[in-house]
Structure 1
């Protein structure tokens, strides 16, 4: 999928507001524009604009399996949604913030999507397989801090000649391997608890994502399934495009 799809917006009301047409506001507009432009060149990027109390820190992250055109479309959509939905707030997620946040482990807010279709009984001990396989993928991904797309890993495993389990994990490139692994393990715990009976699901946090999908590679592709979503609110803004995660603080 290549179309941008706005998913959720989280605005941190407790972070305070900025004054319209202030220096911070000017810096923010320039900052969002720069991030949007950079998303046509890279899948992840961070930037700092301004000085002292007028400083804006920002980043975006697109998953490793999407092209730059899709990434750029997502980040552009996210910057528009931020301006529209979180007027005056100093902290959001695509994300931007007046606080430096890149190296900090954060698990809230998070949001998830899952299919409305449940897994068949013929899949057997699916929950256990999902937990074991994604745990393995998380361990492998934490070793990829210096790869071309840091911490991104996709694994596809065939089970009982019945179905394929596709597992995707990714952290922001600025986390150290230990915090990346912790973020992914906590996200996996959430997805196991909420969605291990579903055909596919994905969960995003400010610093990592976990996703799984089941399908039969021996059959023609099915049309896109319907989906449902849930979230745990915190303070930030999430705008996502299909397989893309875009953050700014």
Structure 2
């Protein structure tokens, strides 16, 4: 472990033990360095590293503060890091595998905790997906919101942030599924309906199975596509659909053909 890493760990320990609780202001740099037995340069480097990780917030002209340490803040950079892997086929398959492992379990947990109001929100996004037949942006928005509302019902902010990061990464896979398979629209909408029905009964096992089927369908298509066609490439700007229900951004394969993909 480098000296900088040791300095970072010392500050983390102060935060973990409550000596520096969320919202508290760090001592001035010379005092912090003396307190930890560090050089001022090491203390400065440790503070910079922890500010990049969103553990600390440097306020110019004021000082350095411990952030809220909220999961959504600390894990915010994960989505951006994941997006850097978007041209890596193996990494995309790994992320889809992570989603398959996490999302069905999250959906099962949501079934045991979801309130009537949260269930109504999920239903609202499902209805909107049916209605947004020719608006790609609305389809994308309500598909993402459907899944977010389900996971949010678990009450687990860390799980929500992790899954949003992974699911955001899979968006192009969904788009490309639509471009390659014009039969996916009705099937994937039915998968969303199955998830909603299972949540409505508060049946954790059924909810997990419905979500597993939904995610596995996308993962299976992705593997087949990559094996046959190689890495996904950038898509064209979203176009409006001509007809038919959908759940995520469609592509266009020719006049009058309906194409969409699973969320």
Same fold (TM over 0.5): no
Rg larger for: 2
The answer to which structure has the higher strand fraction is 1
**TM-score of the pair, normalised by structure 1:** 0.26
The answer to which structure has the higher helix fraction is 2
